Amino acid sequence: MRVQIMLEFVRAASIPQNMLNVTTPPRLFAIVSLVMIIVMVVVTGLTQALFFRQSIIDRESVIVSDMANALAHEHLISAADMENYSNASATDHLAEGFGPISQLSGTQRIKVFNRNYTIAWSDDSGMLGTKQTTHIGDLTRAMNGEIRAVFNSEETNINTGSHGSPTPESIEIYTPIFEAKQDKSSAAVIGVLSLSRSPLALNQTIRDGLYLLWTVIGVTGIILFSALYKLFTLVYSRQKSAELRFTKLTAEHDHIVQLEKLSAMGEIVSEIAHQINNPLVGVINLAQIAERDPEISAKTRRLLAAIEKSGVECSDFVQRLLRLNQAARSEPQLVEVNDLVRDTIAFFHQTIGKHHTVTFTESDGDVMINVDPVLIRHALFNFIHNAILAAPDKPVVISLAADRHEGISGYRLSVTDRGSGFDDKVAKQLFKPFFTTRQGGTGLGLSVAQFIAMKHGGVVRAENMSGGGARFSIWLPSVTKP
């Protein structure tokens, strides 16, 4: 019975299959909590079932004991009747005294034992004079004045007399029969009445109580689970929100630190470049003047030419260093981005050449952003130039579209080439100043573009395209800090 009830409850409270896919902490918490609640309900129910059964049996044992002793006293059952059970008058006397008990509902067998543990009377006459019981210990304790009750399972069939029929399950009560005296405390036990009753009514009572108990515990568990789950999800969501805020703060901090480093580096490099540039120009000029002297030897002329060439190369490098400081200064103004892109493409064609194909997919309507047009144009120019160098004979596509970054509205300006893209090793150093994969490249284009984006509160992205080539994008927020 217990196993059947447990299986029915587990089947009714089974977890849906889609919840078995543990992917998030709240779902894991829900599954663990439900399993714990089911285990708690089942274990509590089974434990209480044993308690209820024993309590009900003990209560009925007392009732049967009071009834048996009341009938024995009413009919003046004596120890002599128990001892002389073979006498017809004694048998009739015992039947008259204990016979009414057989009218109790669920009664399976009645046996009356005398002090010699012999059955003096039974509703099955074939048991008279025998000693049929497997609970000799309980019978002995009943002979000493204690009421005993035993639940007989299917494996314990003790109610088969010589003329009786098997009764697989039963509740067997052993109650002492006291001699009739005014003082019950000093009354002697003259025999023991054994009453076997069917447990069907008891099982039904226990089952009803168990269902009620499980219902109460289950409802309480569900309420508790709902409260805990809401609390857990609230705490979890706040934790995730705090982690997200912390990540954003960390990113912003790194952003600011990098911005400050680039600004400081730009100013330092600019100052150094200015200090070097003036004497370097003087060296180049003096070398050129000395080279024109007709009286110098060919060897000296060659040395002066080498000095001039080295000076020019150093001067070009110094000029590249000065570009870092140019990006540190900005003058934001309200700019229509579509016009800015068209102007940049036109400037590129005039500077590099018109034979390169550059197409532009404009955004619908005007896109007004508060930026420094010179800096944004410079970053876009670098992207276009790099795209042309990656695939000179293939078109470059520029697009402008609304986009969101970390929940902030803005616009993404992208330049896509048809080149070979870049590998993971190169990707880690793309925005590192002076890093380049091209012979003669400065390695400043992408780092300066990133610096410009950071100055405007934006970001630069680089990604390989699935069909080949690479795309470099600069994202700018709709509301840009000056």
Q: What is the pLDDT of residues 267-278, one digit of tens each?
A: 666 667 667 777
Report all structural domains of the chain as residue ranges with CATH numbers, in order of start. 2-198 (3.30.450.20), 331-477 (3.30.565.10)
pLDDT at residue 129 greater than cutoff 70: yes
Confidence of residue 147 (pLDDT cuts 50, 70, 90): very high
> What is the structure's pLDDT at 239?
83
Q: Other C-beta atoms within 10 Å of 1: how many? A: 13
In this prediction, residue 268 carries a pLDDT of 67
pLDDT band at 416; cut points 50, 70, 90: very high
- Least confidently predicted of 85-99, 300-314, 337-351: 300-314
**pLDDT tier, 264 (very low <50, low <70, confident <90, very high otherwise):** low
What does pLDDT average to over the chain? Answer: 78
Give the CA angle between residues 114, 116, 118 to the nearest 5°: 65
Average pLDDT over residues 114-123: 91
Cβ-based neighbour number of residue 424 at 10 Å: 7
Non-local (6+) Cβ contacts of 95 within 8 A are 121
Reported confidence tier of residue 6, pLDDT bands at 50, 70, 90: very low
Higher per-residue confidence, 89 vs 45: 89
Cβ neighbours of residue 438 closer than 8 Å, sequence gap 6 or more:
389
The whole-model pTM stands at 0.42
**Closest by Cα among 81, 176, 174 to 133:** 174
Structure tokens at 224: 């508790």
Q: How confident is the model at residue 154 (pLDDT cuts 50, 70, 90)?
A: low
> What are the φ/ψ torsions at residue 468 (nearest 5 degrees)?
110, 155
Q: What is the pLDDT of residue 177?
A: 93
Region 386-412: what's the mean pLDDT? Answer: 88
Integer angstrom CA distances of residue 148 from 112, 187, 189: 14, 19, 14
Across 4-30, average pLDDT = 55
Query: Alpha-carbon Rg of the chain, whole angstroms?
Result: 51
Take residue 249 and report the two structure tokens written for it.
Answer: 């703060």
Task: State which amino acid sits at residue 25.
Answer: P
